[in-house]
Structure 1
Amino acid sequence: MTFLNRNLAMLPLLALLLAGCSTPQQTIKTQPNTVYLLDHGDEVNINVSGEQDMSMRVKIDNSGNINYPFIGVMQLKGKSPEQVSKEIADKLRGNYLKNPMVTVSVAEYRKVYLLGEVKKPDGYAWEPGLTAEKAIALAGGFTDRADRKDIQVRQSGSGQLLNNVAADSAIQAGDTIIIGMSFF
């Protein structure tokens, strides 16, 4: 093995060692085309074309359900608005309407919560494209005692707590952001 080939073979090992020396920052980037899945706390608009009595705005309850006229209780948790549109149309077809045109859209997303060293800790409506940095801005920014690098995120779906989250990380609806206190 030549000197050059031996050094090239050591590059992956060197990269691995250098990666272990840096301070880890967890990034929760999401795919830009990620489908939004409904959950409790979301409010949805259901529009049935030409049917005023079947069009409504409804909030998904804690069990992930809504009560819809002519159908009854429907589980919306874990479904996309498009899936719910199709499900409602399928259940209304035949018994009530010939060819229902149903549109379901999110009227109000569930909240993200900010705790710790932000000026206005509270729940704020999630919006597509929300990052940790933008959420902190919604809460009035950091307090004087905030450790700006101690950003934790408790993910709503799994309950997993991520430490040292990068400010440009994507935040999902229902997540809780916790800002730590600086000791200096």
Structure 2
Amino acid sequence: MRVFVFSILSVCLLVSSLGAGCAERAENSGQTGRTDILPYRLAAGDQIRIMVYNEPGMSMTLMVSQGGSVSFPFIGKVRLAGRTLTQIEENIEQRLKGDYLRDPMVSVTIEHYRQFYITGEVESPNGYEYQPDLTIEQAIALAGGLTDRADEDDIQIRHPGRQLLKDIPATYPVYPGDTIIIGKSFF
């Protein structure tokens, strides 16, 4: 009987610790499901939707311009570039509160992400809309796959404004604005 009770307690503790670990990983991973990615920050080329609840005249879809700011009703200029969706929501809510609305509720969502680019030995080199949790392998699939002349071991990537990284594995994450270069095989 003691062995049976001990076994049940052991299983309960194991399940409890696994559940806590899963919950902790989910909490740390944010919206993307990956712990290695920082929160998504907007930049030129992203299209967002700002909704102010019960205020249809203040809800709109906007493209983040090169300047990175937009003019919003009643509050004027709102900086979007370099900010997370949560930061934008909080900023608009804070600026609308009091003078214009009693308790504004603002929601900001991404309608379309800015593009990443893939060139070299893929079937359809081009710019493609970024997707959360995208890897180089998935980007190659979006571009129609590798050509017969592609060198699978010669993958390079350049993050915007950074140095070219060489010999990147296919599981490497892709971010908006990245340029992926697939090299050509000599054989």
TM-score bracket for the superposition, by shorter chain length: 0.7 to 0.9
Q: 1:61 aligns with which of 53, 59, 65?
A: 65
Amino acid in the other structure paired with 1:47: M
Q: Does residue 147 of the first structure (1) align with residue 161 of the second (2)?
A: no
**Scaled by the length of structure 2, what TM-score is found?**
0.78
Q: CA deviation digits over 1:124-183, x for unaligned, max 9?
A: 111111000000100001111111111111102x42211111000111111111111111
Amino acid in the other structure paired with 2:98: G
Identity across matched positions, percent: 45
Aligned residue number for residue 13 of structure 1: none
Q: Does residue 165 of the first structure (1) align with residue 165 of the second (2)?
A: no
Q: Does residue 79 of the first structure (1) align with residue 83 of the second (2)?
A: yes
Aligned residue number for residue 179 of structure 2: 176
Cα distance in 2 for residues equivalent to 1:140 and 1:112: 15
* Residue-pair matches, total: 154
Cα distance in 2 for residues equivalent to 1:115 and 1:66: 32
For the aligned residue pairs, the C-alpha RMSD in angstroms reads 1.3
Higher helix share: 2
Unpaired stretches in structure 2, ≥5 consecutive residues = 1-33
SS in 1 for 2:44: coil
Unpaired stretches in structure 1, ≥5 consecutive residues = 1-29
Q: CA deviation digits over 1:105-137, x for unaligned, max 9?
A: 111111111111111111111111100000010
Q: CA deviation digits over 1:24-63, x for unaligned, max 9?
A: xxxxxx7346311111111111010000010111010012
Whose relative contact order is higher, 1 or 2, with alpha carbons under 8 Å and at least 6 apart? 1
SS in 1 for 2:89: helix
Amino acid in the other structure paired with 2:86: E
Cα distance in 2 for residues equivalent to 1:65 and 1:162: 31
- What is the 5 A alignment of 1:31-50? 31-32=35-36, 34-50=38-54
Amino acid in the other structure paired with 1:34: L
Amino acid in the other structure paired with 1:178: I
